[in-house]
Amino acid sequence: MTDVTADAMPARRQGSGLLRLLLSNEFGLAVLIAVAFGTFALTLPGFTSPFSLFTIGRQIGIDTMIGLAMMAVIVTGGLDLSVGAIGVCAAMVFGWLAQAMGVPLPIAVPMAILFGASLGFINGYAVVRSGVHSFIITLASMSIFFGIMIFLTKAQAFNQLPPEVTQFGKTRLFGMVSVLLVITLVVCVALSIFYRFTTLGRQMLAAGANPRAAELSGIRTGRVITACHMLTGALAALAGLMLTARTGAAVPSMAGHLGQDWLLPAFLAPVLGGTLLSGGRVSVIGTLLGAAFVTIMTSGLLLMRVGEFWILACLGLILLAAVLTDRLRQGVLRKRGLI
């Protein structure tokens, strides 16, 4: 499992491999998922019904995509508060193209993703040129993107999309696997390959781990950081499109006020999965597992009738518990000299 974790600076491998695996974030998450899933499956009737598995898989697909979007920019040690705003903007552009302009779907989808990437480019360009931390730049741009979108759409949804969109969101493979989850898995594999084997991917990790060293070794850090923001924009757009397919409409409020509702899933999945907020290390599989864990917990708690209002507080506690456990894990690893 550690193989899929891309690391800018390969850790010293002399430690015990098995212990390292057992203490890895991904392994811990996999165990947690198994325990949570097993408990819910045994105690909650209907949790493992094909329809329930389908909705859980669909949610995992969307949340993972949101998490991957944030992960792509956390790599640089930055962050992007505007993921939700970009996702909604791209979904609305898609809705406008597909519904109002009658653009065929095979063209509308790439155009929406491209639009997301170009919004990401604006973020990246502003961050690199101003030298201001991405927190404040994307705080401003989330307000601007969302404001322009609401202004142009007059807060109206596009709800007469071509029927294929809704149909796509409902598609099940083998009766229980959402096609949205399959898309996410494909993107996960592609991103793993990207970070591990391509020059640009390696450069992103290097620029995130140590920008000065990367600059000195000939990487044009500015361009690489801009590329990271563009990747974030594209993935956020994809998440927005997936959400549109699930809802069957492009709704301006689908990510909450200013797209803030995406912030928690966006940070929860990568942080649970062991992506370092300081940059330089990503874990694609960890992000997937993180999103899976959160979704399974949420669905289970909902089925237990915890009340959807308390779910929010539970997710916050999970995030808190996750970062605290991670601290503990690192402490153990350090004591044993494994990192």
Partner 1 sequence: MNRLFDNDWVGPALVCLVAVVGISILQPSFLSPFNILVLLSAIAVNMVIALGQLVIIAIGQMNLALGAFGGLVAICFVAVMELYGVPPVIALLIGLAIGTAAGAASGFVIARTGISAFIITLAGLQIFKGINLGITEAQPFYGVPQSVKDFGNHAIFGPIPWLIVPMIIASVGMWYLFNRLRIGRYILAVGGNRTAAELSGINITATIIWAHAISGLLAAIAGMMLVARLQIGQPTIGDDWLISSFAAPVIGGAVLAGGHVSVAGTFFGVVIIAIITQALVLFAIDPFVVQIVLGALILWAVGINRYREIRVAKLNEAR
**Which residues in the 61-90 window bind partner 1 by CB under 8 A?**
79
Six token digits for residue 152:
């142009």
The number of residues that bind partner 1 (CB under 8 A) is 44
Tokens 């506690």, located at residue: 317
What distance in Å separates the CA atoms of residue 274 and residue 280, rounded to the nearest whole number? 11
Pick one of 35, 100, 277, 332: the residue that binds partner 1 (CB under 8 A). Answer: 277
Residue 127 found at the interface with partner 1 (CB under 8 A): no
Stretch that binds partner 1, among 20-28, 110-118, 283-291, 304-312 (CB under 8 A): 304-312
Q: Which one of the spans 64-72, 175-183, 229-237, 259-267 is the region binding partner 1 (CB under 8 A)?
A: 259-267
Residue 75 and residue 277 in contact, taking contact as beta carbons nearer than 8 Å: no
Q: Checking DSSP bridges between strand 177-178 and strand 281-282, what pairing results, if any?
A: unpaired
Query: Between 173 and 313, whose beta carbon lies closer to partner 1?
Result: 313
The DSSP bridge pattern shows strands 177-178 and 172-173 to be antiparallel
Q: Does 135 bind partner 1 (CB under 8 A)?
A: yes
Rule CB under 8 A: say whether 314 interacts with partner 1: yes
Q: Measured from the CB atom, is 51 or 310 closer to partner 1?
A: 310
Give the integer Cα–Cα distance in Å for 145 and 88.
Answer: 9
Whole-number Å distance between alpha carbons of 79 and 139: 10
**Which residue type does 299 have?**
S
331 scored as a contact of partner 1 (CB under 8 A): no
φ and ψ of 62, to 5 deg: -70, -45
Per CB under 8 A, the segment of 41-49, 142-150, 209-217, 238-246 that binds partner 1 is 142-150
Structure tokens at 166: 């809704």
Interaction site with partner 1 (CB under 8 A):
79, 126, 130-133, 135-137, 139-144, 146-148, 150-151, 155, 257-258, 260, 263-264, 267, 271, 277, 307, 309-317, 319-320, 323-324, 327
